[in-house]
């Protein structure tokens, strides 16, 4: 019998109800030698991160591209440029050595990967386009009222 379970740990303790669920799994195991492996799981990118990317970063990056002389009137083109620059992975043909770059899917990003992606765009804009994209405003919700 194999199983995967996600548990939350806080202050070095398993948080209920995960503790109860984990106990039930152990009760269902037969006697014998078992291997337990723990891997840190990162959460998927948040809707706030996607909101910042699409609502601020890509629009500002588009302005930077236009100011630098690029034809970037379509936001989808801007997104494709950022994917090509910062989110592509290479597939190599072992026989010929040919390299094909394919974009990764943002919907699978963890919070850390999204943070890295956005920072790469902001840094590129500052260094190569001389255009500075503001960091997210931590008090944006209070400003809505």
Phi, psi of 110 (to 5 degrees): -85, 170
Question: pLDDT at residue 108 above 90?
Answer: no
Q: What is the mean pLDDT of residues 123-141?
A: 88
Tokens standing for 133?
Answer: 């994209």
Tokens standing for 143?
Answer: 């400003």
Check residues 127 and 28 and name the one with the higher pLDDT.
127
Alpha-helical (H) ranges within 9-132 are 18-27, 47-52, 58-67, 75-86, 111-128
Angle (deg, nearest 10), helices 58-67 and 75-86: 90
Tens-digit pLDDT profile for residues 3-54? 677 777 778 877 766 667 777 777 777 888 777 777 777 788 888 889 899 9
Check residues 103 and 126 and name the one with the higher pLDDT.
126
pLDDT band (50, 70, 90) for residue 1 = low
């Amino acid at each position: 019998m194999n199983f995967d379970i996600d548990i939350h740990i806080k202050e070095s303790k398993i948080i209920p109800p995960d503790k109860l669920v984990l106990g039930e799994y152990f009760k269902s195991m037969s006697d014998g030698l078992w291997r337990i492996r723990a891997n840190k799981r990162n959460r998927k990118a948040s809707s706030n991160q996607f909101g910042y990317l699409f609502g601020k970063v890509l629009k500002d990056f588009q302005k930077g591209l236009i100011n630098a002389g690029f034809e970037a009137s379509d936001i989808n083109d801007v997104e494709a440029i950022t994917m090509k620059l910062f989110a592509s992975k290479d597939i190599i043909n072992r026989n010929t050595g040919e390299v094909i770059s394919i974009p990764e899917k943002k919907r699978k990003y963890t919070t850390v990967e999204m943070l890295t992606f956005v920072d790469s765009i902001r840094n590129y804009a500052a260094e190569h386009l001389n255009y500075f994209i503001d960091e997210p405003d931590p008090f944006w919700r209070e400003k809505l009222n």
